[in-house]
Amino acid sequence: DIDVTAGEVKFANQNINEENALLGTNVPLLTHGGRQTLSGVQATSWARIRSLDSDYVRSGRQRTLAISLMHKVASYKWTAKIALLEDAAGMFETNMNSKDMMRLATDAVDVLGEVKEYRAPADGMFKVQDNPWMMIVDWSKQLPDLHRFIWEEE
C-alpha cells in the first residue's frame, strides 16, 4: 500500500492518462488521496510525478515504491517467489543460473528489515547552477560521507 497525498492524485492521473494513451489500456484513475493499493501503472505513475514538487520528493516516492514492492514480495510464500522469479526471468539477461538468482533473492528478502536510505548528493554537499540547471557536487565531501554510510564508519 502507498500513501498518496490529495495533491498527488491529479498529477498521478495525468501520468496514468499518458500511459493509457501510449499503451491503449484503460487503467483506472485515482479517485482520492490516502493509503491505498495501486496497480503497477498507478504506482509507477505516482512515482514519476515531476511537476508537483522537487526531485528529492520524486526520488523519495520512487524509494517508497521500491521498498513497498520488496516488502510485498517478502510476504509471498516460497512457491510464489519462485513463480515470480520465473515470470520475470525473460525480462532481463544475466549470467547467473536460476539457483544463484533464487539464493540472491532470498538473501535480499532476509535483510528487508534493515533497509537504510541515503540520498546523494546529500544536503550541503552541492551547489545548484542555473542555465543550464544542474547540481554541482562537492565530491571531496560527498564521497567520504557516502563511504561512512556504506561501511558504517564513524
Name every residue whose Cβ is closer than 8 Å to that of residue 126 and which is 6 or more positions away in sequence. 135, 136, 137, 138, 142
Is residue 25 within 8 Å of 19, Cβ to Cβ? yes
- Report helix, strand or coil for 4: strand
Is the pTM for the entire model greater than 0.75? no
pLDDT of 111 reads 64
Percent of the chain as helix, strand, coil, to the nearest 5: 60, 10, 35
Segment 72-123, tens digit of pLDDT: 888 888 888 888 888 887 788 888 887 888 788 777 766 666 678 888 888 8
In the numeric block, the cell 510525478 is attached to: 49
CA distance 134 to 127: 8
CA distance 5 to 73: 24
Mean pLDDT along residues 126-148: 92
CA distance 26 to 28: 6
CA distance 42 to 136: 33
- The reply to whether omega before 132 is within 30° of 0 (cis) is yes
pLDDT of 113 reads 63
Segment 23-80, tens digit of pLDDT: 999 999 999 999 999 999 999 999 999 988 877 788 889 999 998 888 888 888 888 8
pLDDT of 110 reads 64
pLDDT of 54 reads 79
Residue 154 pLDDT greater than 80, yes or no: no
